[in-house]
């Protein structure tokens, strides 16, 4: 698959790029092409592969089959608007969490639509398929290929299928969280995990679900 990481020069972009670059062509997008190219040099050392390319956000989206929105919530609207003309018909994945973090507390701060993904749905063209995933994986933990975290995927069927496949290829365990309307439940787990890190002095707190198979 060709994967565009829009704003892939940041924390989650690096983590996802390193996990996917052995199996997929990963296009690191940026507002500044040179910045993306510099990041590719660094990421390639961690990934041990040359299947990474640095380019503008627009060029990354244009070439990709799937687009991952790796920008902070406050820039997601303007970022999508800047690539909207080339995103028609693509699968889009949002790991975006609307939240405020101070030194001693993280708080979920959803938009009036209810979640970042529900807001993104209103901005994307109808022809794009949207899934909400990867909110609870800590970017720094992704750089270590051993970290096998769980992820909950919500959204529309086509994009959800792609997000499942990409989660498995990143050594993560995906769970179906239902439709996009459930995305507030998943996004709001991230400030909880950050708070657990703050109050218990822990790093890279994530989730693993426990269940028994009886009745399956
Ligand atoms: N960090 C994590 O552990 C983690 C985990 C799960 C989900 N997430 C979610 O993933 C998203 C990205 O998080 P992050 O920590 O990777 O963010 P980040 O490192 O702070 O920023 C990511 C990229 O956003 C772009 N950006 C910055 N200011 C911008 C602006 N004004 N307009 C457009 N783009 C701008 C930058 O790319 P260029 O300067 O190259 O354009 C930057 O490298 C967030 O929505 C977050 O909630 C993060």
pLDDT digits (tens, 9 = 90+) for 151-210: 999 999 999 999 999 999 999 999 999 999 999 999 999 999 999 999 999 999 999 999
54: pLDDT strictly greater than 90: yes
Q: Which residues line ligand 1 (CB under 6 A)?
A: 7, 9-13, 30-32, 35, 70-73, 75, 78-79, 95-97, 134-135, 137-139
Domain spans, the chain: 2-200
Band (47; pLDDT cuts 50, 70, 90):
confident
> Residue 50: what pLDDT?
76
> Residue 144: what pLDDT?
87
Confirm if 56 and 30 have CB atoms less than 8 A apart: yes
> Residue 51: what pLDDT?
87
> Residue 147: what pLDDT?
79
45: pLDDT strictly greater than 80: yes
44: pLDDT strictly greater than 80: yes
Residues 6+ apart with CB under 8 A from 135: 95, 96, 97, 151, 152, 186, 187, 189, 190
Mean pLDDT, range 49-72, rounded to an integer: 96
Query: What global pTM score does this model have?
Result: 0.97
pLDDT in tens, 95-148: 999 999 998 999 999 999 999 999 999 999 999 999 999 999 999 999 988 879
Band (216; pLDDT cuts 50, 70, 90):
low
Please, where are the H alpha helices in the chain? 11-20, 33-47, 57-63, 76-83, 116-123, 139-143, 157-169, 183-187, 189-200
Q: How far is the CA of 105 from the centre of ligand 1 (A)?
A: 20
Q: Is 2-200 a domain of CATH 3.40.50.720?
A: yes
Q: How far is the CA of 213 from the centre of ligand 1 (A)?
A: 38
> Residue 76: what pLDDT?
98
> Residue 133: what pLDDT?
98
4, 6, 9, 10: residue to mutate for ligand 1 pocket, most atoms within 8 A of CB: 10
Confirm if 30 and 52 have CB atoms less than 8 A apart: no
Confirm if 133 and 207 have CB atoms less than 8 A apart: no
Q: Give which of 195, 145, 192, 211 is closest to 172, Cα–Cα.
A: 145
Confirm if 166 and 66 have CB atoms less than 8 A apart: yes
CA 65, CA 36: separation in Å to the nearest integer? 19
Whole-angstrom CA distances from 67 to 40, 53, 128 are 17, 14, 10
């Amino acid at each position: 698959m060709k994967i565009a990481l829009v704003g892939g020069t940041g924390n989650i972009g690096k983590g996802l790029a390193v996990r996917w670059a052995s199996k997929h062509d990963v296009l690191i997008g940026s507002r500044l092409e040179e910045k993306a190219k510099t990041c590719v040099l660094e990421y390639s050392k961690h990934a041990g592969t040359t299947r990474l390319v640095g380019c503008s956000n627009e060029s990354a989206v244009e070439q990709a089959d799937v687009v991952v929105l790796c920008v902070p919530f406050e820039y997601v609207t303007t970022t999508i608007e800047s690539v909207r003309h080339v995103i028609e018909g693509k699968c889009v994945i949002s790991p975006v969490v609307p939240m405020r973090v101070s030194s001693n507390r993280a708080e979920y701060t959803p938009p009036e639509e209810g979640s970042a993904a529900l807001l993104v749905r209103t901005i994307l063209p109808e022809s794009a398929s949207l899934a909400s995933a990867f909110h609870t994986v800590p970017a720094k933990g992704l750089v270590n290929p051993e970290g096998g975290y769980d992820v909950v995927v919500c959204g529309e069927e086509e994009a959800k299928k792609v997000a499942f496949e990409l989660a498995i290829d990143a050594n993560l365990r995906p769970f179906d969280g239902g439709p996009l309307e459930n995305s507030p439940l998943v996004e709001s787990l991230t400030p909880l995990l950050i708070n657990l890190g703050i109050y218990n002095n822990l790093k890279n707190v994530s989730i693993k679900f426990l269940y028994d198979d009886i009745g399956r």
